[in-house]
Amino acid sequence: MKYLAEFRDPELARALLDEIARTVTRPWTIMEICGGQTHAIMRHGLDQLLPDAITLVHGPGCPVCVTPLETIDRALVIAAQPGVIFTSFGDMLRVPGSRDDLFRIKSRGGDVRMVYSPLEALKLARENPDREVVFLAVGFETTAPGNAMAVRQAAAEGLTNFSEITSHVLVPPAMEAILSAPNNRVQGFLAAGHVCAVMGTTEYEPLAARHRVPIVPTGFEPVDILRGILQTVRMLESGEHGVVNAYGRAVRTEGNPAARAVVDEVYTVCDRKWRGIGTIPRSGLRLRDEFAAFDAERKFAVGGINPEEPAVCIAGEILQGLKKPPECPAFGTECTPLHPLGATMVSSEGACAAYHKYARKGLL
């Protein structure tokens, strides 16, 4: 099909793989930031086709995985309240909180609905003026503009029965945390292409300069990913650092100014807890005070819910690229997609789920 087949073209992919093999002379560890990239790598088997010298480690860019347990628990409490229509993207529905998930709340009579866009939630609020419509606004910079737009629109229309649980996270502070860790082994990054499509690439320049690493905004199809890897390897081999865009068809240096403007109008940067990792300074977005009326956590007074993360899995180390899923003793035994112990096994974009789905060791 047009605009997809070209980027899955086996011959093009093989040519890039050959070029990578010709370029690489020693071992390199490269992190792909985004869970979508992780899944594409596993689904197409790219990790099997790359030279042994290249190790891909999987980054924290799975919005479902890093949404903190307290956000989930607060969402569950709100969703269970009578009179509430609770809306969420599909893959948040299965994420377990301390005791429940949204599917179970729904089965007990909660009005939980899957939406494809926060603007659908807004429509529900217009159509149900006697109900409280709450949207679970999670994700990286990619989903932030749409979620901000919903709040701005609700404010403009004077909709008082719409609110969001805002738990947005930002990529650059997470990369800073990974690079600053004493046991860091990541030498180059495939930056998340769609985050960069919104935010642009300039905010990565200081990171690349400070830590002397290549940062390469990369797409999600096999040919895109291989182009990103080739670019990263070329820079590593020649000792260069900096930001070089390998996803030109989607990413511009300045990003999408209109999208950035609406994010900036509605949200402001805050410290944010990442599930499995902990609090990272200035790594999240929250509603600005002038939009506090749309803050569901305030509206429903659930801010006091602060559960402890059970220390049963190594998701935090996996999300920081310190370990790979099969290195976890629970992987595939105690911890499976049906009975996940941690968030990286829950989300369809989580690294553990990707390994479990496509590449359980010993099965093939």
Partner 1 sequence: MNERPDFDNMSCPLPLLDHDTIQLAHGAGGRLSAELIEKLVLPRFSSTELDKLEDQAVLELPPGRVAFSTDTFVVDPIFFPGGDIGDLAVNGTVNDVAMSGAEPIALSVGFVLEEGLPLADFHRILCSMEQAARTAGVRMVTGDTKVVGRGGCDKIFINTSGLGVIPAGVSLSAASLRPGDAVLVSGTIADHGMAIMSRREGLSFTADIQSDTAALNGLVRALLDSGAQVRALRDPTRGGVATTLNEFAAASQVGIELEEEAVAVHDQVRGACEILGIDPLYVANEGKLVAVVAQQDAEKALAAMRSRPEGAEARIIGRVRAEHPGVVAMRTTLGAERIVDMPVGEQLPRIC
Q: Interface with partner 1 includes 89 (CB under 8 A)?
A: yes
Nearest Cα residue to 33 out of 169, 174, 167, 141: 174
Q: Are 135 and 150 in contact (CB under 8 A)?
A: yes
Torsion sign over Cα 172, 189, 357, 280: negative
Q: Interface with partner 1 includes 64 (CB under 8 A)?
A: yes
Q: Interface with partner 1 includes 284 (CB under 8 A)?
A: no
- Cα–Cα distances in Å, from 290 out to 154, 163, 172, 259? 13, 13, 26, 19
Smallest distance, partner 1 to C-beta of residue 202, A: 21
Smallest distance, partner 1 to C-beta of residue 210, A: 28
Q: Interface with partner 1 includes 260 (CB under 8 A)?
A: no
Smallest distance, partner 1 to C-beta of residue 337, A: 4
Choose the stretch contacting partner 1; rule: CB under 8 A; options: 85-93, 149-157, 260-268, 281-289: 85-93
Beta-carbon contacts of residue 316 (< 8 Å; ≥ 6 apart): 276, 277, 278
Q: Interface with partner 1 includes 299 (CB under 8 A)?
A: no
Nearest Cα residue to 292 out of 267, 319, 314, 261: 267
136 beta partners: 165
Beta-strand runs (E) in 43-127: 54-61, 84-88, 111-114
Task: Say which DSSP state 309 is in.
Answer: P
Residue type, 74: R
**Nearest CB to partner 1, comparing residues 115 and 179:** 115
Site for partner 1 in 119-138 (CB under 8 A): 138
Smallest distance, partner 1 to C-beta of residue 139, A: 5
Beta-strand runs (E) in 6-161: 28-34, 54-61, 84-88, 111-114, 132-139
Q: Interface with partner 1 includes 270 (CB under 8 A)?
A: no
Beta-strand runs (E) in the chain: 28-34, 54-61, 84-88, 111-114, 132-139, 162-169, 188-192, 214-218, 242-243, 267-274, 278-287
Binding mask 220-259 for partner 1 (x = CB under 8 A): --x-------------------------------------
Choose the stretch contacting partner 1; rule: CB under 8 A; options: 84-92, 105-113, 209-217, 249-257: 84-92
Q: Are 300 and 81 in contact (CB under 8 A)?
A: yes
State which of residues 29, 51, 81, 91 lies at the interface with partner 1 (CB under 8 A). Answer: 91
Q: Interface with partner 1 includes 8 (CB under 8 A)?
A: yes
Q: Interface with partner 1 includes 338 (CB under 8 A)?
A: yes
Q: Interface with partner 1 includes 7 (CB under 8 A)?
A: no
State which of residues 45, 129, 257, 329 lies at the interface with partner 1 (CB under 8 A). Answer: 45
Q: Interface with partner 1 includes 13 (CB under 8 A)?
A: yes
Q: Interface residues with partner 1 (CB under 8 A)?
A: 1-2, 4, 8, 10, 13-14, 36, 42-49, 63-64, 89-94, 114, 116, 138-140, 142-143, 194, 222, 337-338, 348-349, 356-360, 363-364
